[in-house]
């Protein structure tokens, strides 16, 4: 993969780590990568990025959580063992600093938030949660 593609893959891995899951059936005859999000922007970015990286469209579904009748969650799935292996074998110790930052960006977008502080004209990061 080219350099920018590795960073996009890292962001995608962070999103999956935050809002999705990897699944393998007991007989290993089926595996999939799944991502959940209510954010349409994230869906569109994920589809474009996945097409660039894997040259495949995901299966797109809509889930309705039981407790909230007004919330809809989009579900993206890749039923491909090769894509599953790429995400399953993605380890932090093998990543460059830029890829780690991209992975953290994906995790933060999916699951966390940034607390920004401003003093005068300077802006700083208070914490990443």
Number of Cβ within a 10 Å radius of residue 41? 9
Residues 97, 98, 99: CA angle, nearest 5 degrees: 90
Among 69, 73, 68, 48, which Cα is nearest to 58's?
Answer: 48
Nearest to 109 by CA among 23, 5, 35, 2: 35
For 51-109, how does the pLDDT look when each residue is reduced to its tens digit (9 = 90+)?
999 998 898 888 877 776 677 788 888 988 888 888 888 887 888 888 888 888 888 88
Instruction: Return the pLDDT at 26.
Output: 63
Domains, in order of start, for the chain:
3-128 (3.10.28.10)
Instruction: Classify the C-alpha dihedral 4-94-46-24 as positive or negative.
Output: positive
Helices (H) and strands (E) in the chain, counts: 4, 6
């Amino acid at each position: 993969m080219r350099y920018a593609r590795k960073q996009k893959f890292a962001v995608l891995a962070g999103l999956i780590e935050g809002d999705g899951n990897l699944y393998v059936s007991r007989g290993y005859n089926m595996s999939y990568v799944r991502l959940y999000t209510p954010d349409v922007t994230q869906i569109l970015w994920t589809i474009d990025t996945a097409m660039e990286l894997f040259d495949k469209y995901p299966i797109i579904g809509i889930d309705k959580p039981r407790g909230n009748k007004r919330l809809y969650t989009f579900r993206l799935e890749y039923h491909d063992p090769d894509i599953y292996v790429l995400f399953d074998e993605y380890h932090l110790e093998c990543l460059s600093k830029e890829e780690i930052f991209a992975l953290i960006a994906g995790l933060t977008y999916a699951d966390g938030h940034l607390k920004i502080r401003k003093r005068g004209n300077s802006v700083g990061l208070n914490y990443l949660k």
